[in-house]
Amino acid sequence: MATQATEREIAVVGVIGAGQMGSGIAQLAAAAAGCVVLLLDSDTAALSRAVASISSSLRRLVAKGQLSQASYEDSIERIKCVSSVQELCDADLVIEAIVESEDIKKKLFVELDKITKPSAILASNTSSISITRLASATNRPCQVIGMHFFNPPPIMKLIEIIRGADTSEEVFTKVKYFSERLGKMIICSQDYPGFIVNRILMPMINEAFWALYTGVATKEDIDTGMKLGTNHPMGPLQLADFIGLDVCLSVLGVLHNGLGDSKYSPCPLLVQYVDAGRLGKKRGQGVYSYGTRSSSIKPRSSL
């Protein structure tokens, strides 16, 4: 068990990226862990949407009797929107939830390394990128760690913690205790491509695309088969839409490049959908239509 002193060591949390993942992480840090949250995004409209989303989510908890009105107000008050990385200088922990690009994340970590206090822990919400390589961009590799949240963070019970080659035991322990303060179950992965969940999940999603591409079945039957036949709450194609087809393609690329196995080579239909901008629910169109746009892309009946 964590001591009170250990738990108090993370009191100010910086969250970079005000999208669905970042806003969800910010909500957890403020409402579940009672931290001051510095939510950073260069897009002021994204920050406004994030605060509105967090407020709406917490109000639903109040309506259900799962959160008091006073706790709701305190949680909202603890979230501070900022627009400059320099404003994260007092954070004890910084969690980035930006685009899944190693180059972009590395540039961010270089900047964070310069402006955060020496004791600060730098965490990435990456779903597949090497923590060791991200840490190598800093002068504090022992204080860099992976915290892979699942979408949406306030609801999904899991955090996948990834230790880089140099991540210290002290940093791992602090992040583990902090994750437990968020009310999450913890699994720990070594720093291999895709970690645990995506190394298993993405080949299944990719195989579902191959089944659709080659005409094995309709998208509805593929998803229904996996839901009712294997007791999954959501079929793999619908899940891909919720994750984001671009994210799925990126993770498959990391797996393919990192492990060198052709079984991770992405299905051409997945590539085609991403090229067409059919990125899933966030864009209103992926494998399924969510009512905001249409496309003429159809799976092929055979190879």
User: In the chain, what's the furthest Cα-to-Cα distance?
Assistant: 62
Strand partners for 185: 158
**Residue 148: active-site member:** yes
**Residue 198: active-site member:** yes
Cα 78 to Cα 29: distance, rounded to the nearest angstrom: 9
Task: Verify cis geometry, omega within 30 degrees of 0, for the bond prior to 193.
Answer: no
What is residue 292's predicted lDDT score, i.e. its pLDDT?
58
Please give the structure tokens belonging to residue 85: 């990385």
**Residue 257: active-site member:** no
3-state per-residue secondary structure call for 239-252: HHHHHCHHHHHHHH
Q: Which residues are annotated as a binding site for NAD(+)?
A: 17-22, 41, 100, 105, 127, 151, 282
The neighbour count for residue 256, using CB atoms within 10 Å, is 18
Q: Which residues are annotated as a binding site for CoA?
A: 57, 64, 127
**Residue 289: active-site member:** no
The neighbour count for residue 119, using CB atoms within 10 Å, is 9
Strand partners for 159: 149, 186
| Residue of 130, 148, 179, 250 with catalytic role | 148
Per the listing, tokens 């310069």 go with 114
**Cβ atoms of 151 and 24 closer than 8 Å:** yes
| Residue of 128, 198, 206, 250 with catalytic role | 198
Q: Are strands 121-124 and 144-149 parallel, antiparallel or unpaired?
A: parallel
Query: Who's near 148: CB < 8 A, 6+ residues apart?
Result: 125, 126, 127, 159, 160, 161, 162, 195, 197
Characterize 283-300 residue by residue with b for buried, 16 or more Cβ atoms within 10 angstroms of its Cβ, and e for exposed.
bbbbbbeeeeeeeeeebe
**Cβ atoms of 175 and 116 closer than 8 Å:** no
pTM score, whole prediction: 0.88
Per the listing, tokens 């994340």 go with 105
Angle between helix axes 268-275 and 197-213 (nearest 10 degrees) is 90
What is residue 291's predicted lDDT score, i.e. its pLDDT?
83
Please give the structure tokens belonging to residue 208: 């579902």
| Residue of 75, 124, 125, 127 with catalytic role | 127
| Residue of 160, 179, 189, 250 with catalytic role | 160
What is residue 1's predicted lDDT score, i.e. its pLDDT?
43
Q: Which residues are annotated as a binding site?
A: 17-22, 41, 57, 64, 100, 105, 127, 151, 282
What is residue 2's predicted lDDT score, i.e. its pLDDT?
45
**Cβ atoms of 79 and 53 closer than 8 Å:** no
What is residue 294's predicted lDDT score, i.e. its pLDDT?
44
Q: What is the pLDDT along the chain (303 residues), one digit of tens a residue?
A: 444 444 458 999 999 999 999 999 999 999 999 999 999 999 999 999 999 999 999 999 999 999 999 999 999 999 999 999 999 999 999 999 999 899 999 999 999 999 999 999 999 999 999 999 999 999 999 999 999 999 899 999 999 999 999 999 999 999 999 999 999 999 999 999 999 999 999 999 999 999 999 999 999 999 999 999 999 999 999 999 999 999 999 999 999 999 999 999 999 999 999 999 999 998 999 999 998 554 445 544 333
Residue ranges and CATH numbers for the domains of the chain are 12-190 (3.40.50.720), 199-283 (1.10.1040.10)
Residues written for the chain? 303
Distance of CA 200 to the CA centre of its chain: 17
Query: Who's near 119: CB < 8 A, 6+ residues apart?
Result: 92, 143
